[in-house]
Amino acid sequence: MKHADIIGKLTIEQKATLLTGRDFWSTKDYPEQGIPSAYLSDGPHGLRKQQAAADHLGLNPSIPATCYPTAATMANSWNPALGEELGEYLGTEAASMEVNVLLGPGMNIKRNPLCGRNFEYFSEDPYLAGKMAASYVRGIQKKGISGCLKHFACNNQEQRRMVIDTVVDERTLREIYLTGFEIAVEEGKPKTIMSSYNKLNGTHTNENMHLMRDILRGEWGYDKVVVTDWAGSNDRIQGVIAGNELEMPGCKYGIDDVVKALTEGYEIPEYVQEYPEQYNAVLKGIKEGKLDEKLVDEALDRLLDLILETDKAVKQAPKQFNTEEHHLFAQKCAEECMVLLKNEKGVLPLTEKEKVCIIGDFAENPRYQGAGSSVVNPTKVDNVLDCVAEYPIRFIGYTKGYERYGKKSGKLEKYALKLAEEADKIVFFAGLDEVSEAEGIDRRDMKLPANQLEVLSKLLALGKPVVVVLCCGSAVELDVIDDADAIVHAYLSGQAGARAILGVLSGKVNPSGKLAESYPVRYEDCSSAARFPGKAASVEYREALYVGYRYYDTAGVAVRYPFGFGLSYTKFEYSAIKADEKGVTFTLKNAGEKDGAEVAQLYIGKKDGKVFRPAKELKGFAKVFLKAGESKNVFIPFDKYTFRYYNVSTKAWEEEPGAYQVMVGASSADIRLNAEVSRAGTKAACPYDKAKLPSYYSGKAEDVNKEEYEALLGKPLPRAGYRFYKKRRMVIDENATVADLRFSRRWVGRLFSAVIRFAHSFLWAIGQKTTANTIMMGMYHQPVRGLAKYGAMSRKQMEALLMMFNGHLFKGIGQFFSKADKPKAEKDKA
């Protein structure tokens, strides 16, 4: 161990205390032992360091910092070099504010477009997500602090996220949901990884030996820190055994559990006793019924490495940063992420000869970031109206057009139509509001607000050219939007996004963004639509590998805009493809009159394989900047991810022998060049019985039946719904959510749940929709244990609540108000 001298001087109590937070954001310090405190802060697209009351939902203000484009936006750049540069800017700001660990990037797969937190994630594709995440981490850690990959793993929804059991077959787990993390761990070398809230195949991820020990520590060789998501620790001891170093936030009973396990003993879970051969590490970590102190010391050694290394960097870092320089870089990022989806008859760019009006609330009050723990208090925010005079656009006026939160207004509609009559071209800003995309809740549908679409329909009926600027963080249905002459998708482009939008509209910026996710025609076309967000106990990933374009392209389902799509003001020509064992080479030419950049994408397929697979999968890409008329030879290398598949029989990565299709194109649906390579492969036997898996071999995996999915899983499905013991009543335990309390045995629990539901409805009715969703819906799907994990009460008080919910009212009241074991309020030292 690197820090044996320090660890050897610590008492058991001190060791236990170090394994959990001192308060909401920082770790425990022992100055006399040379151990400083480390500060952790949200910040996937901008730092959110809080000075006063701490929270994890973005409710309380934070120190001003630069709000950069969100991950969903940056992924559209397809430019890891830009991502690394952004990481450096993030690291500079974090270090200047004495932050040791920046909690980002988030890199969960966009399994379903309704996930409320998709704006924080890169892509539906693991290769692109992994490359972008690795670049962020490299950049952040150049400044000596730590990036933090999150949320590991299969956290692909917000509803019931702290208790839901994600049921996924091993091959899909490896190829879709872990490959991105694998790339980011190998290439980014993060000092910290955050475990997710959910269960994975029956076990909370933070305690999942297969995920944390076998794969992360064993196969990938990760030897740094794993931190829980906030209040995400279920069984603290099992978490330590599985390799978790740090429980956040500070939790007294987490400390008590570790001390007790080391001194008095630890009851080995039943599932470990039943299958001892699968849990050798657990059993080795327990001697005579006690947790082996060696496991704790190993965790402390890794944690101290993180604390001491980042503390040195934080102390040496400048305490200020150039806010204007950072703002301009945020604009640079946004410019490279703009996606031009449509441009009929050369409507764009706008010219000074044409009278242009701007309609839509988002032009005046930009939607530039999501809601929840990632919310940044920006140093400043540009809006289109304040900046339009700087661009060669003949701007004649603006009107709001619609109410931001969906309320219909005939008055605003009338003003919009009157202004539009005076214009030659109309620029209409549309999108989703802050209530629709937020941490803690999932979207109800893929639709844009009806009041926006109604105004747009009437504007289109005028017969004038209409340009739509779309502002949202995830895929939406585009029925009316697609009738416009041009569409610029700005996503959530950060505090400097306004100038990036105007740059594209005016032609000062040649758009080069490409979609990092597919845009289906309608929500029902999604492969996971029938099983999102799952049932009470579990969500089944029956679509398996067929996520996003992997499904649409294989099953032949038409999409509105395909993965990897994006137009430019110039045109690019592909030619002269050559493929060999090292990779693929081709020529790319800018055949237009404007300088520009093209994202060339490499896809691999195998038509004659015995193992089922998608028709094509992204295995490489290159963003190439070309002057008008310029040509370049482009080489995209093959790597260890290019041809492999996970074989569930050999429990190893294998490669089928034979011919592979090599496809190079401008999107997943626009393949320009084709070649073929032959591979010797590993010649492992196919692990599947094709007759039992017809949906997976056809790719039409949108409605797989139970029997077929169990054949793929290799085991029976777990119970998906509530376990009632009579008349829709259930035993309430610490993992029951507030929503579950409506089924509690006694009226106390049902009343508690009803009060929360009423508060949500009331706040919504009076127009406090953001507060309603963020607080109430966040609480509604919070498990009872969260009340103690966040420090709102002690463990005994939490257990007292459970007594009351389960029929022991007076006994529970007595325990709740007893003086013993009340939580000691510790002032937040951030």
Per residue in 478-521, pLDDT (tens digit) is 999 999 999 999 999 999 999 999 999 999 999 999 999 999 99
- Name the pTM for this structure: 0.95
User: Is residue 382 scored above 80 in pLDDT?
Assistant: yes
User: Is residue 294 scored above 80 in pLDDT?
Assistant: yes
pLDDT of residue 256: 84
Helix (H) or strand (E) holding 166: strand 165-167
Q: Count Cα neighbours of 557 within 13 Å in the Cβ-side half-sphere.
A: 25
pLDDT of residue 767: 80
Q: State how far the Cα of 532 lies from the Cα of 551, in Å rounded to an integer.
A: 16
Q: State how far the Cα of 218 lies from the Cα of 223, in Å rounded to an integer.
A: 9
Cα 754 to Cα 135, 207, 554, 779, distances in angstroms: 46, 33, 46, 13
Q: State how far the Cα of 672 lies from the Cα of 661, in Å rounded to an integer.
A: 13
User: Is residue 826 scored above 50 in pLDDT?
Assistant: no
Q: 824 vs 265, which has greater pLDDT?
A: 265
Non-local (6+) Cβ contacts of 635 within 8 A are 583, 584, 585
Q: 779 vs 353, which has greater pLDDT?
A: 353
Residue tagged active-site, from 42, 229, 485, 553: 229
Please report which confidence band the pLDDT of residue 828 belongs to, taking 50, 70 and 90 as the band edges.
very low
The one-letter amino acid at 225:
V
Q: Express as a percent the part of the chain with pLDDT over 70.
A: 95
655 CB neighbour count, 10 Å cutoff: 18
pLDDT of residue 658: 97
Q: State how far the Cα of 367 lies from the Cα of 359, in Å rounded to an integer.
A: 15
| Residue with token string 């389960």 | 806
User: Is residue 316 scored above 70 in pLDDT?
Assistant: yes
pLDDT of residue 825: 41
Asked if 229 is an active-site residue, the reply is yes
Q: State how far the Cα of 762 lies from the Cα of 777, in Å rounded to an integer.
A: 13
Mean pLDDT of 706-735: 89
DSSP secondary structure string for all residues of 583-640: EEEEEEEE-SSS-EEEEEEEEEE-TT-SS---S-EEEEEEEEEE-TT-EEEEEEE--T
User: Is residue 286 scored above 80 in pLDDT?
Assistant: no
pLDDT of residue 325: 98
Domains in the chain: ranges and CATH: 323-517 (3.40.50.1700), 518-556+691-721 (no CATH), 570-687 (2.60.40.10), 739-816 (no CATH)
pLDDT of residue 830: 30
Per residue in 421-452, pLDDT (tens digit) is 999 999 999 999 988 898 888 999 999 999 99
Q: Express as a percent the part of the chain with pLDDT over 90.
A: 79
User: Is residue 765 scored above 90 in pLDDT?
Assistant: no
Please report which confidence band the pLDDT of residue 55 belongs to, taking 50, 70 and 90 as the band edges.
low
pLDDT of residue 775: 67
pLDDT of residue 289: 77
Per residue in 136-151, pLDDT (tens digit) is 999 999 999 999 999 9
Cα 739 to Cα 468, 533, 638, 720, 727, distances in angstroms: 39, 15, 49, 16, 17
Q: State how far the Cα of 571 lies from the Cα of 587, in Å rounded to an integer.
A: 14
User: Is residue 276 scored above 70 in pLDDT?
Assistant: no
Average pLDDT, the chain: 93
Per residue in 635-682, pLDDT (tens digit) is 999 999 999 999 999 999 999 999 999 999 999 999 999 999 999 999
User: Is residue 711 scored above 90 in pLDDT?
Assistant: yes
Per residue in 168-223, pLDDT (tens digit) is 999 999 999 999 999 999 999 999 999 999 999 999 999 999 999 999 999 999 99
